[in-house]
Amino acid sequence: MMNILNDIYSVFWVDLHILRRHWKSTIATSLVLPLLYLIAFGYGLGRGLDVDGFSYLSFVVPGIVALTAFSTSFNGAASKLQVDRLYYKNFDELLMSPVSLYSIVIGKSLIGVIRGLISAIAIYAVGLVLAPTILVRPVFFLILLLACFVYALFGMLVALVINSHHGMSNFSTLVILPMTFLCGTFFSLNQLPVIAKAALFFLPLTHSTELLRSTVLGLSFPWLSFASLIAFGAAFFIGCVMVLKKLSI
């Protein structure tokens, strides 16, 4: 176990060292868009509105936190890995090192987890000021950690499969951008037809949004979304390992 932890830390240390050198600009840029969403949709357009019996501001804060965790964790893991693979060309050296593929997957995804946690917690703190009625529970941070890890694995898998910056840009436009607005972040899924709601169930952001929202609003815990988010994480992890096995041959 200690050898595995040492391998994970060895892989993670390089990315962490870079984050420590540029953490201010990295965190600042990741907070701009979520803050604009929070101010424009929550505090601007949503004032005086109610959704599912809650003020719109209280309703939208956990959604924007989930969105921040998603975008920052995904981009944090994906962009760093793509730069290593396509620009610096040093990822192949890591594959040839005596480090297990499982340690590589976890180590490379941790940078996305750290970035996602920092940005999401910062947005949550702002949300507490704007909407003091939302709850603070320890389970919220556990779910946030799980969500960040799932999305970092997702970003790593996409970065391993897509071999160009142009391809990554197209994926973000065609997949990530629609998920941003369609997974219940800014509106209640109860307003959608049954077919549309069932289709969104197959997107991971839907489940993290439901989980975080139920936690801070005191709603019943959606165990199905919890199981689904774990299933997504397991699928992304297995996918990363399988792709790395092909790359290391």
pLDDT score recorded for residue 10: 84
Helix (H, G, I), strand (E, B) or coil at 183: coil
pLDDT score recorded for residue 48: 66
Name the more confident of 93 and 106.
Answer: 106
Structure tokens at 101: 């593929």
- The domain limits of the chain are 2-248
Whole-model pTM: value is 0.91
pLDDT score recorded for residue 72: 92
Grade residue 47 by pLDDT with cuts at 50, 70 and 90: low
Q: For the segment 120-167, what is each residue's pLDDT rounded down to a tens digit?
A: 998 898 888 888 778 888 999 999 999 999 999 999 999 999 988 889
Q: Cα–Cα distance between 125 and 123 in angstroms, integer?
A: 5
- Closest CA relative to residue 143, chosen from 227, 59, 199: 227
- Closest CA relative to residue 233, chosen from 138, 156, 170: 156
pLDDT over 80 at 50, yes or no? no
pLDDT score recorded for residue 193: 87
pLDDT score recorded for residue 189: 87
Residue type, 223: W
Extract long-range pairs of 137-143: CB within 8 Å, 24+ residues apart: 137/215, 137/216, 139/215, 140/212, 140/215, 140/216, 143/208, 143/211, 143/212, 143/215, 143/226
pLDDT over 70 at 249, yes or no? no
Q: Cα–Cα distance between 125 and 189 in angstroms, integer?
A: 25
Look at phi and psi of residue 248 and say left if phi exceeds 0, alpha if psi is from -120 to 50, else beta. Answer: alpha
How many residues can be counted in the chain?
249
pLDDT over 70 at 51, yes or no? yes
pLDDT over 80 at 18, yes or no? no
Q: Cα–Cα distance between 63 and 185 in angstroms, integer?
A: 4
Structure tokens at 46: 């949503």
pLDDT score recorded for residue 212: 95
Grade residue 46 by pLDDT with cuts at 50, 70 and 90: low
pLDDT over 90 at 223, yes or no? yes
